[in-house]
Structure 1
Amino acid sequence: MQMTGNTILITGGTSGIGRALAEAFHDRGNRVIITGRSLAVLEEITAGRPGLMGMPLDLGAPNSLVQLERDVRTRFPELNVLVANAGISHPEDMTDENWDVSAAQLIVETNIMGVMRATAAFLPILKNRPGATIMATSSALAFVPRADFPTYCASKAFLHSWLTSLRHQLRKVPVEVLELSPPYVQTKLTGAHQITDPRAMPLDAYLAEMMQLLERGDHPRGEVLLERDQARRWAERDDRYEEIFAAMNPA
């Protein structure tokens, strides 16, 4: 992926990793478009940053994505990078008598269908642009799950598999497909407590290490994965899956 001179669209760019990515890419001289549901938040983030723009998007409303695609085609025909970053996470207790699939359904709609719909909307544009890249935010939990977040982890495992297939299908098309697989990072993904959780990696530290991997092109198989997460990535190959699963999910 080229690191400067891009026009980048980032879904879910108003908080957490998405916002940090937007600001980091903007600082490197890229034009960056972030999406979100709140116009006020979009305006607050983009104020004072020429070349960082906000556009409304609600992935739960199909017409919203259609309108965004039309607006981007009109205003930013040079778009060459899509970062499909929007995602949500909720714990689920399937032993609870009141458990139902409503939270799981919302996770699937956002984390899986949101990425697929965004890719379908903008792939026709990207296929005609030099230096084009699709990056989607997965998770290191795609490889070994946290059992108390079953659907979230499964959604990221789905994305890992789906992105592998997308990369293979686009192998003769000049569109690079990257999978961003962060560890547990200090964001609001699971709630306000996560921002200060000492077990989580500081966001700025994660961003610095991840951007270095992108700058070096150090992402074998298209996977942007920190060294600390290699053990989870290869847990089954190295016959450590049961050990790592047990450490992550104490009885």
Structure 2
Amino acid sequence: MRISGNTVFIPGATSGIGLALAVELRAKGNTVIVGGRRAELLERIAAEHPGIDTVRIDTTDAASIDSAAKEVLARHPDLNVLVTMAGIMRIEDWHTPETFLASAESVITTNVLGPIRLIAAFIQHLRAQPDATIMTVSSGLAFTPLKITPSYNASKAAIHMLSESIRLQLADTNVKIVELVPPSVRTSLLPGQESSDFAMPLEDFVTEVVALLESQPDAKEIQVERVKFLRYGEARGDYDQVVATLNASDPHGK
């Protein structure tokens, strides 16, 4: 993915990693469209960040995705980058269905069905572009489980394998698949995570991500240094130790 000259749509970017990445990509010379559910947040983003366009979208709603896709493409027919950023994380207790089922269904709908529906809504348009990118967003927890967030871990593992698979299928097109693999980052994904010493400062994370995109335009995965502890435990042969270390530390890991 080239670092400038793109038209980028980031649904789920009204806060946290998504918004910070949107601002940095705009500063690098990209046209950026931010999507989200709450109109008041979109209005505030438009006011605080002139030049960033906004569109209302609920990635848990297939009809909303289709409607937003039509709106984005009507206003930005040169769109060539989709970042499937929207996601939620929930603490769950799997001892009884009453304590996890509703949460698990919500997480899978948002974190797995949402990106799949987004890609379906934009893939034909992206295939027609001379140079296009789909950036998926997994997590270090796709590779090392945090015991309090089973559905989140599973959803991000699914996104990782989805990314690997569609990269193979789309190798005969101009659409590149880039997987962003965050560690725990100081956002509001879980209560208390914004002030967690375990989590990486948001500004540091996004700065490193943009630097990696700039220096590695052909990268398949964007991995900041901090996530490699989780990402490569199995390959290093210390997976059990990594799992134990993660689950003995601050629970607000992403």
Residue 114 of structure 2 corresponds to: 114
Runs of 5+ consecutive residues of structure 1 not aligned to the other structure? none
Aligned to 1:236: 234
TM superposition shift of 1:96: 5.3
TM-aligned CA distance change 1:97 to 1:119, over 3 Å: closer
Amino acid at match of 2:3: M
In the aligned structure 2, how far is the partner of 1:184 from the partner of 1:117? Answer: 26
* Superposed structure 1 runs of 4+ greater than 6 Å apart: none
Letter in 2 for 1:196: S
| Match of residue 169 from structure 1 | 169
> Are the aligned partners of 1:30 and 1:51 in contact in 2 as well (CA < 8 Å)?
no
Between 1:123-132 and 1:223-232, the stretch displaced more is 223-232
Extract unaligned runs of 5+ from structure 2.
250-254
- Letter of the aligned partner of 2:25 in structure 1? F
Aligned to 1:248: 246
1:202 matches 2:201: yes
Equivalent residue runs for 1:119-158 within 5 Å: 119-158=119-158
Check whether the contact 1:218–1:224 (CA below 8 A) recurs between aligned residues: no
State how far apart, in whole Å, the 1-side matches of 2:112 and 2:79 are: 23
Map Cα deviations across residues 86-137 of structure 1 (whole Å, 9 max, x no partner). 0000011113574241000000000000000001101111111122110011
Moved more, 88-97 or 68-77: 88-97
Distance, in Å, in 1 between the alignment partners of 2:48 and 2:196 is 31
Residue in structure 2 matched with residue 62 of structure 1 by the alignment:
62
CA contact (8 A) 1:127 1:173 kept: yes
Deviation at 1:187, TM superposition (A): 0.2
Q: Equivalent residues in 2 for 1:34-113 (5 A)? A: 34-95=34-95, 98-113=98-113
Give the partner amino acid of 1:110.
T
- Match in the other structure for 1:216: 215
CA distance in 1, matches of 2:129, 2:175: 8
1:141 to 1:219, Cα distance in 2 relative to 1, 3 A = farther
Q: Cα gap change, 1:97/1:48 in structure 2, threshold over 3 Å: closer, same or farther?
A: closer
Q: Distance in 2 between matches of 1:236 and 1:180?
A: 19
Higher mean alpha-carbon deviation, 90-99 vs 170-179, is at 90-99
What is the TM-score when the length of structure 1 is the normalising length? 0.95
CA distance in 2, matches of 1:16, 1:120: 25
Equivalent in the alignment of 2:15: 15
How far apart are the structure 2 equivalents of 1:84 and 1:159?
10
* 8 Å contact kept, 2:23–2:49: no
2: CA distance between counterparts of 1:160 and 1:108?
14
SS of residue in 2 equivalent to 1:170: helix
Between 227-236 and 128-137, the greater mean CA deviation after superposition:
227-236
Given the two structures, how large is their TM-score scaled by the length of structure 2?
0.94
Per-residue displacement from partner, 1:140-195 (whole Å, max 9, x unpaired)?
1111010111110110001000100011111111111111111000000012x111
User: Aligned residue pairs: how many?
Assistant: 249
* In structure 2, distance between residues paired with 1:11 and 1:29: 19
- Structure 1 residue 48 displacement after superposition: 4.9
The two structures, once aligned, show a CA RMSD in angstroms of 1.6
Work out the percentage of aligned pairs sharing the same amino acid: 39
Query: Does the alignment pair 1:181 with 2:187?
Result: no
* Residues 12 and 85 in structure 2, CA contact (< 8 A), matched pair in contact too: yes
